Amino acid sequence: MEEQQNQENTPAIDDKGHGIKVVAHNTGAQPPERFTGLKLSKPKDKAAGIPSVLTALSHANRYMAKGNAVKTMFRLNQKGGFDCPGCAWPDPDDERSRLAEYCENGIKAISEEAQKKKIGRDFFAQHSIQDMLGWTDFELGKQGRLAEPMVLREGAARYEPISWPDAFRLIADELNALSSPDEAVFYTSGRTSNEAAFLYQLFVREFGTNNLPDCSNMCHESSGYALSKTVGIGKGSVTLTDLYEAEVIIIMGQNPGTNHPRMMSALERCKENGGKIISINPLPEAGLLKFVNPQRPGKALKGGTPLTDIFLQIKANGDIPLLKAIMLLLWHEEQKAPGAVFDWDFITEKTQGYEAFLQGLKKQDFNDLLEASGARRDKVKEAVELLRRRNKIIVCWAMGLTQHKNGVDNIREVVNLLLLKGSIGKPGAGTCPVRGHSNVQGDRTVGIWESPRPEFLDKLKATFGFEPPRRHGYSTVDAIKAMHEGKAKVFFAMGGNFLSATPDTEYTARALRSCRLTAHVSTKLNRSHLVHGRLALILPCLGRTEQDVQSEGPQFVSTENSMGVVQSSQGVLSPASEHLLSEPAIVAGLAKATLGSRSKVDWDSMAASYDNIRDAIEQVVPGFEDYNRRVREPGGFYLPNSAREQQFDTPTGKAHFSVNPVPPNPLSEGEYLMMTIRSHDQFNTTIYGLNDRYRGIHNERRVVLMNPQDMAEAGIQARQVVGLASTYNGEQRVAKSFLAVPYDIPRRCVATYFPEANVLVPIDAYAEGSKTPASKSVVVRVLPAG
């Protein structure tokens, strides 16, 4: 893709952008450019412990009704309980803690979902769209649970109530008035259950389009694409037990202490079993240094468990040169002791492409690779020594690897290392992409995908009797462009906060505002409700924590975690409002209103009992045999995973080595490579609070983390107000009013919080193959005034 390979060097610019088209300014789509009172402290060197317990209890006490807090805590992530609406980290297969099978951020997630405050017609009558655009994302989310469906009429300044039948008719009329079904976009958040997601894609495909972008497009699409091409399945190959048994766990581009805190328990268990941990990241993170397990007072009194044995601090997007440097030294060790380093039986019998891979590797210069990675020579050699005679190796990664133009190549290079060591499909070894949202993997499994395989569509046809569309639909980036260009006129979101999750905020805002209709299925208020089409709807749904009772009685849903376990989830709280519908009921109601008598699906039956949806999934999706029985078993069941069995579902039947170039990261004078990150008080676009306590940043989100030497050379003082500008293909995007914070980050790299800095991420900068936005490698300038 030409724009990916030929990104121009940004010319010298002033704050007016002379000679460059300025395309981004704050129209209300971005969070307001105001400060909340920055306080700094020393970054922490350990995670969890008593502070996490106290913080969790504080959130529950502040935002939830007392009885609800206790009731949910003891059912969260328990067998027969409900699945955390936060991350997708798996629960233990064996005994689970009766005290607390959850983390600090899990409690924050349910405190957010099960808020005691509620908002409906009175709230919206009091607050106009323009008023609410001036609120921060934190302020928006904390207004309370949405209590009834609301509509924003064309030209109106405020949302007003609407009945469910009228809402369905309004959407159906807009959909049926389109010239083509492909003029509609149906987005899915990773919180959506298997049952709701399957029903949703069934409606969308019977309507006639594959425009089913989802949040995976923006995070682990690079992982799925690369793994499918190299090992034949777009999922990780390991189980939680494998992490316990690993000799070495390599953690790349991931911050478990904030984004997947329960992962630290697995890392602790690995360390106690004699395993070693190598962490690779531009930032040192508390959750990778030491874990203080609050459920083990004896360990806590001794200061916790050190996790990382070797920390390789690299530049942003320095992963490929680092991996090549490690593999090059491993190859030299293999020459000294043939057969002692590489797993030749595995390479010979199970792989293809080794010779081409090795030829490319041998052309690399170690010193050049070291310089490109930013890693220290002694630390790289230490890592090689650790890996040399071990083959029970797991590599875990998250968006620090996937959100680059070379995101797919990053994952393929990870696979190369594992293939050399024969470290896939054996106990204690394999691939571990750590998913973000709680059912993002399950949604893809049951059909939420803009590029469905023919076999899946054939099964839909055989099961339901209609011809599904065969042409691939829009990914997230393509959907935004289609709306921007007027090719898509209706946008429907099943959960999520689309505007704040996507790149190029102002471009996306113009895309949404170009639509005839925007509609969002939501539990609480977010910025996407305020940046809308000509008509807009908010459709409030039940949360994961709430009881779901349909005409045939109480229902449960199911989800799939990062390691392919499908388990039930059944809420325990009374619904926040009598006007809430479940996601399956919303889909069924919309499908009936839109498709009418031409539909071949019994939507009433599907909504009445989710067993009927699961029966349909069983007929369509491989691996779900006897679904209704197995999902009722405590802990659920594992889906088939061919790579786990060293069966590689590629055209050759073998795992594939690949040849991946070292990515160029050219920076002109005054330029930095920016990566967007999350704070500890955040999950995806949900802002729980204003503190990033592990990094020592409090009461502020509009910050840019900079290397102290870079700050000194640029004449930037700590806490100085600066602006940020990215220039791409002759267009400049500007984000104003950030506070510079000195931090332990490599030279010429900076870090900012998402979504505040999303405005700087160009819509056309994405990973080749996956189209995942390149949010972790954006070339920026730091402007002297905000």
Poorest-pLDDT segment among 81-85, 663-667, 680-684: 81-85
Instruction: Say if residue 3's pLDDT is above 50.
Output: no
Instruction: Say if residue 16's pLDDT is above 60.
Output: no
pLDDT single digits (tens) 675-734? 999 999 999 999 999 999 999 999 999 999 999 999 999 999 999 999 999 999 999 999
At 20 the pLDDT is 62
Cα of 485 vs its chain's centroid, Å = 27
Instruction: Say if residue 9's pLDDT is above 90.
Output: no
pLDDT single digits (tens) 524-577? 999 999 999 999 999 999 999 999 999 999 999 999 999 999 999 999 999 999
- Contacts within 8 Å (CB) and 24+ apart, 457-466: 457/205, 459/619, 459/620, 459/621, 460/202, 460/205, 460/620, 463/616, 463/619, 463/620, 464/202, 464/206, 464/600, 464/601, 464/616, 465/600, 466/206, 466/600
Q: How confident is the model over 316-331, as a mean pLDDT?
A: 98
Q: How confident is the model over 33-45, as a mean pLDDT?
A: 93
Half-sphere exposure of 221 toward its Cβ, with a 13 Å CA cutoff? Answer: 27
pLDDT single digits (tens) 238-267? 999 999 999 999 999 999 999 999 999 999
Cross-strand pairs, 548: 555
Residue 298 structure tokens: 């004896």
CB-CB contact of 654 with 352 (8 Å): yes
Residue 78's pLDDT band, with cuts at 50, 70 and 90, is confident
pLDDT single digits (tens) 384-442? 999 999 999 999 999 999 999 999 999 999 999 999 999 999 999 999 999 888 899 99
Closest CA to 520 of 497, 543, 486: 497
Classify strands 731-742 and 778-783 as parallel, antiparallel or unpaired.
unpaired
Report the C-alpha gap between 73 and 615 in whole angstroms. 31
CA-angle at 687, arms to 488 and 770, nearest 5°: 45
Q: Return mean pLDDT, the chain.
A: 94
Poorest-pLDDT segment among 288-302, 489-503, 579-593: 288-302
Residue 299's pLDDT band, with cuts at 50, 70 and 90, is confident
- Which amino acid, one-letter code, is at 297? P
pLDDT > 70 fraction of the chain, expressed in percent and rounded: 97
Instruction: Say if residue 113's pLDDT is above 70.
Output: yes
Q: How confident is the model over 28-35, as a mean pLDDT?
A: 83
Instruction: Say if residue 634's pLDDT is above 70.
Output: yes
Closest CA to 517 of 542, 536, 530: 536
pLDDT single digits (tens) 201-216? 999 999 999 999 999 9
At 24 the pLDDT is 60
At 96 the pLDDT is 72
Report the C-alpha gap between 635 and 786 in whole angstroms. 52
pLDDT single digits (tens) 564-590? 999 999 999 999 999 999 999 999 999
